[in-house]
Amino acid sequence: MNHILDTLLVILLLSCFLLLGTSRLAAAVRMTAVQGFMIGLLPLAIEGGEIRLRVAILAALIAVLKAGVFPWLLMRTVRSAGTTHEERPLVGYGLSTLLGVAAVGAAFWLDSRLPFSAEAHSKLVVPVAFSVMATGLFLMVARRTAICQVLGYLTLENGIYIFGLAIVSGIPMLVELGVLMDMFVAVFVMGIAIFRISREFDHIDAAQLTSLKG
């Protein structure tokens, strides 16, 4: 059992709860930054003793992007959009947190029915990956502001990345870099999109984008 790895994973879970429980956009963005940093450290924790250069580069890249560039971009969007709080979420924060715990439970159950954990580095990796993914999807559905939805997308991606770490030992570097690049562009594009939406509508409440129907 790898103590550092487990601690990282538990912090990841906690960051999910905090994401679910906060209404302040800036705090949520910071929480995603923490999550990104933990994600960056994960490959190092999994490698344990000897750390290969490739893994180190990847870890550094991920940490810089997810804990530095993305939060910076999103923080700028938060400031320029002039919204500080998520108002009127579709699901309240208390209930969201409880659902988060339920999701963790479900993730453990799901993991016990799937064969991945047997070969994973820690029994926690796969359930944590599932919970993080569920948190991301939930945020995208249950929050109204465009920023929270982007945060949800980022969290979903983080979950998928953890899952990838758990079950795949080596996806080629080229693909990993491509994925990372796409993530970067995705957040960048979404940031610009939020900016445009907020300029057009004077708000970033994506729930009011409902004129197109049928």
Q: Min. distance of Cβ 93 from other proteins in angstroms?
A: 6
Question: How far is it, in rounded angstroms, from Cα 59 to Cα 70?
Answer: 15
174 near other proteins, rule: CB under 8 A:
yes
Which residue in the set 19, 41, 104, 151 belongs to the binding site for other proteins (CB under 8 A)?
104
Instruction: Calculate the CA 149 to chain-centre distance.
Output: 11
Whether the Cβ atoms of residue 8 and residue 38 lie closer than 8 Å to each other: yes
Which residue in the set 108, 118, 132, 147 belongs to the binding site for other proteins (CB under 8 A)?
108
Question: How far is it, in rounded angstroms, from Cα 54 to Cα 102?
Answer: 37
Q: Would you state the structure tokens that stand for residue 143, as one six-digit string?
A: 């929050």
Q: How many helices (H) and strands (E) does the chain have?
A: 8, 0
Which residue in the set 17, 37, 70, 138 belongs to the binding site for other proteins (CB under 8 A)?
17
Q: Where are the beta strands (DSSP E) in the chain?
A: none
Which residue in the set 48, 51, 60, 164 belongs to the binding site for other proteins (CB under 8 A)?
164
Question: How far is it, in rounded angstroms, from Cα 100 to Cα 111?
Answer: 16
List contacts with other proteins (CB under 8 A). 1, 3, 6-7, 9-10, 13-14, 17, 21, 93-94, 97-98, 100-101, 104-105, 108, 115-116, 119, 123-124, 127, 137, 140, 146, 149, 153, 156-157, 160, 163-164, 167-175, 178-179, 181-182, 185-186, 189-190, 192-193, 196-197, 200-201, 206, 209-212, 214
